[in-house]
Structure 1
Amino acid sequence: MADAYFTKIHRYLLELGFAVHHQDPATNILVVSRPELGIEHLVLGCGEPLLILEQHLLDLPGPSCEVYQRLLQKNRDIIHGAFVLDDSGRKVIFRDTLQLEYLDLPELEAVFNSLALLLSEFSDELIAFSKA
């Protein structure tokens, strides 16, 4: 069943105009970009029952309660997905998870639109975080 989901997601991505940089049906991983939306090297993992989407946004120079607080506050405004940190606490990643069984093209497109909107509205602040 994972192969069918992988194929469906791949088809959706092409329909939405994404460039596929990497695809590995054996691990159900895709890496895609759509620069006009600010989406670069977004990783999609079709791990049944979920589709996991992650895009690395920036590296923080060091721990900062103020930055962490602002990211958590901004999470409240994000329609789909959220800011998360990797295990080091230094890499800021956009992450979303969707149920594969019920996923359709408009729902997947909504995630990309949410990320694009987030990046357009919050990019100056994200850049400032990377330099703080």
Structure 2
Amino acid sequence: MANSYFYKIQNYLLELDFDIQHQDETNNLLVVSKPELGIEHLVLGCGEPLLILEQYLLELPTPSCDIYQRLLQKNRDIIHGAFVLDETGRKVIFRDTLQLEHLDRPELEAVFNSLGLLLSEFSDELIAFSKSGSEDA
């Protein structure tokens, strides 16, 4: 059943003009980009019952409470998805999960638009975090 979701997601991505850079039908994974939205190497995993979307954003040279606080505050503004950290606490990732069973193209497109908006509005601050990682970022 997950494979049928894989093809459904793949079709939505093509309809939305995403560049599919990698696809692994066996593991139900897709890697896509859409540079005009700032989306690069977004990983989509069709793991029934969920579609998991993740895009690595940056690595923090020196993690700090101020940066973590700012990321958490920004999460409140994000319509779909959220900032998350990997197990090291240094890699900042955008992540969202959606139910596959009732997923339609507009819902998936809303996630992409949310990520694109987030990247356009918050990119300067993210760049500052990646460069300094200090309290004055």
What TM-score do the two structures reach when normalised by structure 2? 0.96
Question: In the alignment, what sits opposite 2:98?
Answer: 98
1:84-113 CA-partner distances (Å, limit 9, x unpaired): 000011100000000000100000000000
**What CA RMSD, in Å, does the superposition of the two structures yield over aligned residues?**
0.4
Deviation at 1:131, TM superposition (A): 1.2
Question: In the alignment, what sits opposite 2:74?
Answer: 74
Deviation at 1:63, TM superposition (A): 1.8
Matches within 5 A, 1:89-128: 89-128=89-128
**Cα distance in 2 between the residues matched to 1:38 and 1:121:** 11
1:4-45 CA-partner distances (Å, limit 9, x unpaired): 000000000000000001000100000000000000000000
Deviation at 1:62, TM superposition (A): 1.7
Question: In the alignment, what sits opposite 2:10?
Answer: 10
Off by >4 Å, runs of 4+ in structure 1: none
Q: Which consecutive unaligned segments of at least 5 residues does structure 1 have? A: none
**Cα distance in 2 between the residues matched to 1:88 and 1:59:** 10
What TM-score do the two structures reach when normalised by structure 1? 0.99
Aligned residues: 132
Q: Which consecutive unaligned segments of at least 5 residues does structure 2 have? A: 133-137
**Cα distance in 2 between the residues matched to 1:39 and 1:112:** 8
**Cα distance in 1 between the residues matched to 2:7 and 2:116:** 24
Identity of aligned residues (%): 81
Letter in 2 for 1:113: N
